[in-house]
Amino acid sequence: MMQQLSVVILAAGKGKRMVSDSPKVLHQIGGKPLLGHVLRTARCLDAAKRLVVYGHGGEAVKAAFASETDIVWVEQAQQLGTGHAIAQALPAIDPSDVVLVLYGDVPLIRAETLQPLVADARAGRLALLTVELINPSGYGRIVRDERGRVLRIVEHKEATPIERNLREINTGILAVSADKLRGWVSELDNDNSQGEYYLTDIIELAVRDGVPVEAFTVTEPAEVQGINDRQQLAELERFYQARQTEKLLIDGVTLLDPARVDIRGTISTGKDVVIDVNVIFEGNIRLGNRVRIGPFCLLRDAVIGDDVEIQSHCWIDSAEVGNGAHIGPFARLRPESRLAPGVHIGNFVETKKATIGPGSKVNHLTYIGDAEIGASVNIGAGTITCNYDGANKHKTVIGDGAFIGSNSSLVAPVQIGQGATVGAGSAVSGTVPDHGLCLTRAPRKDVANWERPTKPAKN
Ligand code: UD1
Ligand code: CA
């Protein structure tokens, strides 16, 4: 049987340079905590066990991932070095496993890059991930012999001037069998310039024991870039977004400017979708064929049907939009808005917990909440469903083909029958029968030659 994989994620560091009250690994890229990216990658690798070594702000970190009940949390109360951090996790790992070491603040590492390391560890080797940097300053350097075999890792602070010229650096990511790791970690000391237990010292021990050390080199430094400050956070966010929009382009989506679309979640797209600039997608998004999205829109957890046009400045949150609907500009669809095919929602219209039937139109300045609206209904400008009495929410039901005149207040609970008409300016509650006319506005009163009051003369 294949050895099982335990992934240990180091995340005990303080992250002081973030200048933040929240733990570093809870800062986000693409709308997801840094640690969330790493946990997901570990899952993609079919890890049997995922362990997180935490320290500062541990309670907040645990709380953020409370729904992932399989995570093994290991406390490292004092940060005595990466070797010490691994030592804390080892008792919770089966000696027959292989171990992959990842970092909570290195979010963009891909499973495809890690697979060969894990395979190497299963084959009895120690696998390291390295990268060549133009400026390797601060990192551990990979020291090789004249035949190119890895001998050891030297930390920047310990390195000689010649070693500091080496541009191949240690990403910190490695994989090896748990039993070998355990033996070497127990031999580590903190006899170095930082007084820390360096995990990197195990390389020399592997060489001593005749365990083959293999270095895999990544070509894209961003993939192994750690985040220590907001500058790096912003840079990696851009890198991540570029990857997301690249996928969309490959999938056949037109992006008027790939640099001005952000995806903070997952998105699936049909054919010939066109997305204008400054559009943000959050959560799970599904766009049908030929969907067009204008500039400055935010969509969150939305399902958009075929041939839908969303004009500029729309906010669509937890809503479903049927085929051929027209939305916006300046429309706000709030949670549980369900629009049937062919619905039109125009400017300054807000919907919430509302189903709107096929072909119905709500074109201007309207609030529709807690409502069930049939097919081919016309809602005039300025209509408000008064769904809230200060304590309870009530429902508005409008039958097929009804016509609601402009500036009407539908005071729920209210039921407007099929084909019924509400005159403009009415305040309606109760029931309007099918095909009836309801008119509640005050009758017009005319006074001829009306004299307006005048101000008393000043003296
Ligand atoms: C480490 C490596 C170095 C490598 C670099 C890559 C060692 C000794 N050095 O250096 O070779 O080039 O990473 O970024 O491993 N951590 C803990 N507990 C600790 C110490 C660290 O959980 O006691 C975590 C930190 O949260 C961080 C990671 O381990 O995510 C790396 O720690 P850091 O102190 O940044 O290591 P470096 O000195 O940068
Ligand atoms: Ca570091």
Using the mean position of ligand 1's atoms as its centre, give its distance from the Cα of residue 198 in Å: 8
Instruction: Note the pLDDT of residue 429.
Output: 97
pLDDT number for residue 57:
79
Task: Express each pLDDT in 125-142 by its tens digit.
Answer: 999 999 999 999 999 999
Place of tokens 């919430």: 352
Residue 111 marked in a binding site: no
Domain limits, the chain: 5-224, 230-438
Domain 5-224: CATH superfamily is: Spore Coat Polysaccharide Biosynthesis Protein SpsA; Chain A (3.90.550.10)
Give the per-residue pLDDT at 355.
Answer: 98
Nearest residue CA, atom 26 of ligand 1? 13
Query: Atom of ligand 1 at shortest distance to CA of 170?
Result: 12
d(CA 355, CA 381): 18
What is the rounded average pLDDT of the residues 312-320?
98
- Ligand 1 close to Cβ of residue 169 (< 6 A): yes
Tell me if 304 sits within 8 A of 287, measured CB to CB: yes
Tokens representing 420 are 């019924």
Tens digits of residue pLDDT in 335-347? 999 999 999 999 9
How many beta carbons lie within 10 A of that of residue 425, not counting itself?
16
pLDDT exceeds cutoff 80 at 459? no
Q: Which ligand is nearest to the CA of 14?
A: 1
> Measuring from atom 3 of ligand 1, which residue has the nearest CA?
140
Q: Check residue 458 and give its pLDDT.
A: 86
pTM of the model: 0.94
pLDDT at 324: 98
Q: Is 269 in the pocket of ligand 1 (CB under 6 A)?
A: no
Percent of the chain with pLDDT over 90: 97
Q: Which of 344, 364, 394, 435 is catalytic?
A: 364
121 lines ligand 1 (CB under 6 A): no
> Closest Cα partner for 356 from 270, 458, 342?
342
Active-site residue flag, 326: no
Give the max Cα distance, the chain: 112
pLDDT at 247 over 80: yes
- At the top level of CATH, the class of 230-438 is mainly beta
Bigger pLDDT: 443 or 369? 369
Instruction: Check the annotation: does 361 bind a ligand.
Output: no
**pLDDT tens readout for residues 220-233:** 999 999 999 999 99
Q: What is the percent of the chain where pLDDT is above 70? A: 100
